[in-house]
Amino acid sequence: MEYHLKIDDADIRMEVDAGEKPELTAIIGEKKYQVGYEAVSENSLFLTVDNGDKKSPIHAYVAETPEGRLIHIHGGTYSVLNENLLSRQQTRKRGGAGLPDQVTPATPAVVTSILVQAGDAVKKGQGVMVVSAMKMETTLVAPYDGKVVKINAAEGDKVAPGDILMEIEKAKDTN
């Protein structure tokens, strides 16, 4: 499978052949890498990268954000966007879809963190709540500028698609 990644300001094309688990082959430019991987925890991976010259052990930490993933390796944090997914998301947005009008999870999940309080002003796209489903955390965002009126869930609550987890009063247009 081919990926078009944007890592910080660099555009990178990478071809990945997911061999027998837990190993894959990644080709970046003319370089070929054999990568062994093991999930250490929900957001932590242990990788063994073999570029033909040497094997390097790497601890990677991954965080999901509305803009993509943040990956922390060797003391540096890198923003990684999959441009294949971005182009699909942009196509959907042009078709009328965008941010949901309500703060609701896409799948059954558990609330792990509430990032705002009732009475807080929020901006469109601002993270307001974090949910976890199948060992992946997702930050739910404000659908528009406004004020948090009511929070309908608590940390540890099991929630489902369609549950309105937070009520936000839409800001009046000042134009």
Mean pLDDT of 14-19: 79
Q: Which of 88, 115, 130 is the last residue of a domain?
A: 88
- Residue 76, pLDDT above cutoff 50: yes
CATH code: domain of residue 146: 2.40.50.100
| Residues in contact with 33: Cβ distance below 8 Å, sequence separation at least 6, in sequence order | 25, 26, 27, 49, 50, 51
Last residue of a domain, one of 43, 68, 88: 88
Band (67; pLDDT cuts 50, 70, 90): low
pLDDT at 83: 62
Q: Per residue in 35-56, is it b (16+ CB within 10 Å) or e — as a string?
A: bebeeeeebebebeeeeeeeee
pLDDT in tens, 96-132: 444 457 888 877 889 999 999 999 999 988 999 999 8
The structural domain count of the chain equals 2
* 63 or 98, which is more confident: 63
pTM exceeding 0.75:
no
Residue 93 placed within a domain: no
pLDDT surpassing 80 at residue 2 = no
What average pLDDT does this structure show over 47-62? 89
Tokens describing residue 71? 């990956």
Burial class, 143, CB count within 10 angstroms (exposed 0-12 / middle 13-18 / buried 19+): buried
Tell me, yes or no, whether 66 and 125 share the same domain: no
Task: Write down the pLDDT at residue 95.
Answer: 42
Greatest alpha-carbon pair distance for the chain in Å reads: 61
Residue range(s) defining the domain that contains residue 161: 99-170
At residue 147, the pLDDT reads 94
Whether 108 and 77 map to the same domain: the answer is: no
Same domain, 77 and 115: no
Q: Within this chain, do residues 30 and 72 fall inside the same structural domain, yes or no?
A: yes
Average pLDDT, the chain: 81
Q: Are 83 and 120 within one domain?
A: no
The mean per-residue pLDDT over the stretch 145-162 comes to: 91
